[in-house]
Structure formats: structure tokens, C-alpha cells
Structure 1
Amino acid sequence: MFELTPFFIALLLVTGFAAGIINVLAGGGSNLTLPALMVMGLPADMANATNRVGVMLQSLVGLRGFNKSGRLERTDMLPILLPTLLGGAVGAGIASFLPNSLLKPLLLGMMISLSVLMIVKPKTVFPGPDEQPQRIRDRPWAAFGLFLTGIYGGFVQAGVGFLLLAALAGGLRYDLVRANALKLLCAGSFTAVALVVFIIDGLVAWVPGLILGVGTMVGAQIGVRLALNISQTALKWFLLCMTLAASAAAIWL
């Protein structure tokens, strides 16, 4: 069982704060918070479930910030959410009975593939400055991509932000600020679905989860301010760097 000492409380707050910033701007913050939860003594399945508390709270804070700034795109919100939520429910169900040993190869394969795509064919992921967002009805294959992303996110939170950005910026051509806002909407929504499943299965450790959530909420506030005030080019480089870092983490952790 986990041990909650002052050191571990500080560790959860600091890693949660960093993850909140990283997850709002790109993704991969769970590569910090999942090891922190496991260092406390939580088994991998409980750490995976407990981590969702911080992700949920960070998503709510980030969404509020983007919405207040007028950067949360509402025109295609429901068609984007539906396949993502369905996939999240499927993924959370899969996580309840599949072995934890599958988490690392899934994360590693996804992160390396996306890193290569960003370097070799960046226009596939990053829309041009004059491109207009596309709607799901005009690109129905994007709905399937969001469904697959939801499955992955329901199964394991780590790295799902990168896949959501690939689907929203690459598939539907949203600029990175609006894509990040929609990413938080999708991640928060299927995280809520996954949390229900994990709570029913008794896998959520609430005290460390809420402590982690305090850190992620503060980090998310900072992340929104950064996203609104830095250039698209800076966001692209940050996203690429975080994808490479997450790939390295998937190899070594």
C-alpha cells in the first residue's frame, strides 16, 4: 500500500504542476505523474486510474481558461466528442482486464511513430497559417481517428494528448491553440468516463489523486496563459520536443 509522507506530497504537487503545464501545451505530462504515483507504492493499474483525477481537474481548469479567451471552438464540438467518448469507454473497459505489460509497448510504438511523422512530414500534423478548420462531416475518417484515440486514452492516459493533437490539428486542421483547447475537452470527457469505470473497480486512490490534482490545476492555469501568448512556431517546437522526450521516457522507464 502507498505511504503518504511530506516528501511524497511535495513530489505529487511538483510533478502535477509540471504536468499541468505540459499537458495544456502539448502532452506527455503523465510520464511524470505516473512514475511519481508508482514510487509511492501504488501498483501500475492503481497509478493509471489515480492519475485520471489530476487529468480531469487540469482539463476543467484549462477549458475554463481557453473558453474565457474565446479559443474553445464550439461549432463542431459534439461530433468531435461523440467518437472520442465512445472510444474512451471501450478503452477503459479494456484496461480493466488486459495485463499492465501492454502499456509500455503501446506507448512506445505510438510516441515513436508520431515523432517520426512530425520530423519527416510536419505538414501532416501542423496546419498551415492560412488553412481553415474542417468539420467532421467533411472528413468522416477523422471521426474514426478520434475513436481510436479515445480507446488508447481510455486504456492508458500517458501520451494521449499527442494523439488528440494529431487528430485535431492534423486531421481537422485546427491551429494549435484551438486544437489544444479541444484536446482538453476530449481528454477531460473520456477521462470522466474512464474514471467511472475505475471507481467502480475500486482502483482510485483518492488522497494522492486529489493532491496531484491541486498541482495539475495550478499548472493548467499557467499553461493556458503560455498558450495564448506564445507563437504557433514556438508551440510546434515545444510539441516536437515533448514528443521526443516522451519517446525517450517510454524507452527507459
Structure 2
Amino acid sequence: MAFQYEYLLLIPIGFIAGFLNTIAGGGTLLTLPALIFLGLPAPLANGTNRIAILIQTFTAVKGFKSKGISTYPFSLYLGISAFLGSFIGAKIAIGIDGALFNRILSIIMIMVLLTLLFGPKKNYADIVEKTTGKPLYIAIGIFFFLGIYGGFINAGIGFLMLIILPYLNGLSLLKSNVTKVFVVWIYTIGAVIVFALEDKINYPLAFILTIGNASGAWFGSRWSVKKDDKVIKLFLIITVSSLAIKLWFF
């Protein structure tokens, strides 16, 4: 694939995606369609995107750690469970028809929009952490299936985790985000292995996208948790709705 200057657009797109993925979720809803629109077949775009996610989440983990924030070993237990599930999801993603994949992605984007608009409001006050015993075992089981979904497409999984972790395990927004990026980093390793073995990664484009994703993740991980995310939410709604409509008819 000859280099085209429009590929450089992946850097700002990746920055926004890395930032969004770190503080909330939904970045893949920007990068995956962008790769498809640049001409990559759906499975190749999916695999290429995973390299950026892998480095992005690793960078975010380091960013949170630099602020002394961690949920270890709770996050490790969930990460291992999701890692095992990711192999199943990635194998499904590789074998699926490209046109069907695009339609599935479009539907997921619309579902994420509905969650953003009408989902339950999260109240992080007066919650008690439950990261051992029964709540831990339930979370491990749930995150195995989240790993399957993450291995398959990853899009919007951050929102799911930010709903599950506070309500099931009583984690604050900050600790939910820390757990989320660690788990995604772990299970993405499994997905990357599968996509790499199946030769479904465009490494030059992955490198360009990674520059943006990693930069956005580092910035987002060090950004103040006490933020007004209304502007980000509005931006995500407008952007994702536009991409969903275009992807459906792509």
C-alpha cells in the first residue's frame, strides 16, 4: 500500500480516540471506521487498530501509575479472564464477512449512542468497594464474556465497563477507569496475537495511528478526574452518529 498523506489524519483521530478511551470510552468508534474509510478491509482494519489500542492502554496504565493509582490485584484477575475470552472473539472477527462486520459495527455505534443519551446516570457518592468474594467471582465471569466482545470488535466496551464496575464492584469513576485500561491492555495482547498470526495487521498504518492514540492516552490519564465531560459527550454523539450512518451505507 503506497503512502498517502491522508494517512496522517490518523494521528489527530488517534489522539482523540486515545483520550476518549482513557477517560470514558468510544475511541474505537472513531478509529475503526477511519481505517475502513482509508481502504482497509474490515478484518485488516480491526487488527491494525489493535496495535494502537495495545500501546494506548499500556501508556494509560503508566500514566495512572505515575499518579500512584492502581487497582491491583483486582484488575489483574479481570484482565486474565478477559484475556482468555479475547482469543475467541478475535477468531470470530477474522472469519466474518466484511460487509456484515460493517453493519454490526454500525449497529453497535447506534447502541452506544442510545446508552450515552438514555443510559442510567452514575452516582459515585457513598459507594463501597467490593473487590473480593462473590462480587469478584461474578466480575471475573462477566469479564470473560467482555473479553470475547473485546477480541471481536472492542468498540464501546469502555462504556460497558464503566457501568459494570461501579454498580457491581463499587469502584469510583477514577478506579473504574484505571481498571478498564488495564483490562483492555491485557486482553488486547491476546487479540493482537490472533490477528498477527492471521496476517491481519497493516503495521505502517498501525504505527501512525499509535502515535495519536498513545499521546491522547497519556494526556487523558493525567487529566483531572473532576472534569465536565459534557463537551466530550456531545462531540462523541455527533461524530459517532455521523460515522454510523455513513458506515451502514458504505
Give me the TM-score of the superposition, normalised by structure 1: 0.85
CA shift in 2, pair 1:103/1:176, >3 Å: farther
- Checking the alignment, whether the CA contact within 8 Å between 1:127 and 1:175 is kept in structure 2 is no
- Does structure 1 residue 163 correspond to structure 2 residue 188? no
Q: Distance in 2 between matches of 1:43 and 1:20?
A: 22
Q: Which residue of 2 aligns with 1:128?
A: 124
TM-score scaled by length of structure 2: 0.86
* More deviation, 191-200/93-102: 93-102
Tell me what 1:23 maps to: 21
From 61, 68, 71, give the equivalent of 2:69.
Answer: 71
In the TM superposition, 1:162-201 aligns within 5 A as 162-201=159-198
**Which residue in 2 is equivalent to 1:6?**
5
Cα distance in 2 for residues equivalent to 1:214 and 1:113:
29
1:103–1:156 contact (8 Å) kept in structure 2 = no
Structure-2 separation of matches of 1:110 and 1:187: 18
Q: CA deviation at 1:75?
A: 3.7
Matches within 5 A, 1:27-176: 27-104=25-102, 106-107=104-105, 110=108, 122=120, 126-135=122-131, 137-139=133-135, 140-176=137-173
CA distance in 2, matches of 1:94, 1:172: 30
CA distance in 1, matches of 2:70, 2:21: 16
| Equivalenced residues, count | 245
- Inter-partner Cα distance in structure 2 for 1:19 and 1:82: 24
Query: Given residue 47 of structure 2, which amino acid in structure 1 is its aligned partner?
Result: A
Rate the CA distance shift 1:7–1:118 in 2: closer, same or farther, 3 A: closer
Which runs of structure 1 show a deviation greater than 3 angstroms over 4 or more consecutive aligned residues? 100-121, 237-247, 249-252
1:61 touches 1:221 (CA, 8 Å); kept in 2?
yes
Distance 2:132 2:93 in 1: 28
Percentage of pairs with the same residue: 31
Where do 5+ consecutive residues of structure 2 fail to align?
Answer: none
Shift of 1:230: 3.8
Root mean square deviation, CA, Å:
2.5
For residue 202 of structure 2, the aligned residue among 202, 205, 214 is 205
Structure 2 residue matching 1:132: 3-state secondary structure: coil
